Structure 1
Amino acid sequence: MRIVVIGGTGLIGSQVVKRLGEHGHDAVPASPNSGVNTLTGEGVEEVLKSADVLVDVSNSPSFADDDVMNFFTTATTNLTKAAAAAGVGHYVALSIVGTDELPESGYLRAKVAQEELIRESGLTYSIVRATQFFEFAGAIANSAEQDGVVRLPHGGVQPVAASDVAAVVGRTAATAPIGGVLEIGGPEEFTMDGWVRTVLAHRQDEREVVGDPRAKYFGTFLTGRQLVPNAGAQLQPTSLREWLDAGN
């Protein structure tokens, strides 16, 4: 199959392209660097010609509320229209567990809008909702640091290795459309502050991590298990300890 991967040079996309290629598919990485700009529409129609599957693992370059909403609504509108015109048989999008449970987050509101556009497009589709990636722990700590102290919510998370996410996205792209949502997460549940504290301690980062009920995550309070996948989710094999011990 010819599978076009939007965001195909990023953390997830590059691994999806590699895995699909290893299984004999014609995996085409598409990004602004390759002349495909989903915001302007440049190169989108051309790259989707004769494509069997479209995989969208792209992300907004800015996380400001208006910017991220504009990115996902504009890009998804351009992609769905071009995919329909090209006769693409399967639209696969990567989203986030908990998108519709945290409406105060501008980023998650934008992901909800993206999902709605895909559902309403008339295309056959699969939406893979993943939990936070292990790889994001350091960036989360940096964004939450104040005067040398990392203040994070105490709500639940069930982070997952990016390699496991890429494997699921690749398998989904190479099989029949789900016609709905597949949730995935890692094998273990943590609190947000506990997860990041574990990663920083492993890396001998001496910053103090404090669980703070006033701390926000992507603009919203996280007090419960909104970011933990629902029952029936596909839990992936790589544990946080295995991931850390692998040199991450």
Structure 2
Amino acid sequence: MRWGVVVFPGSNCDRDCLFVLRRVLGHEAVAIWHEERILPPVDAVVLPGGFSYGDYLRSGAIAALSPIMAAVGRAARSGLPVLGICNGFQILCEARLLPGALLPNADGLFHCQPATLRVENNRTLFTRGFSLGEAVRMPIAHGQGCYYADPATFDRLERSGLILLRYCNARGEVTGEANPNGSLGNVAGISNEEGNVIGLMPHPERACEALLGSTDGLRLFLSAGSKEPVEEFRPSYAGSALG
């Protein structure tokens, strides 16, 4: 599988994503500069985390207007899988490829910590490697991760099963105490109606190796990019000097 990772000025998780895709999964992955107007031949696109354009104006707002996003939008509407992580989620909402918006955290603080997430939908390309209702662990690192949508939009997300992940406690219970940012309905990740555009605030690329405390994020990439059963998957460098 060939992935494309878009790089904006201020991206700081693009290299993490490229490492996971290339070295952990063993796939081909190319970096795509924000000024490009045409996507290279890729099977999926990742919009990584970071502070695109310094988060000026509003997180993701300027990046959504960059040349590459016009190409990403056309490809997404044609069915290409697109994954937005943290700032990438913000960009997808600003580009109207996903509904709603990401607001400043309710307590006004930047949260950088492990988060527990309940899987609400395991029927998408990126979540099919998870069990419905299971609790997984991935880190968060954001100051504007409070998901909001108007009541009609949120009701549609609920009824259509477009909410993929919710913040929960270790028992899988969705509670106010488990919500790190005030996100409406404890939402941590959603998809579009077609299921090919995914946005989430947690960082799966930081949960792909046991050394980092969790491999739950690996299953998200593996779901989209490998035909091997998740339980049998081993990193491409296992047994090497890196393993």
Higher helix share: 1
Q: Greater CA radius of gyration, 1 or 2?
A: 1
- TM-score (normalizing by structure 2): 0.39
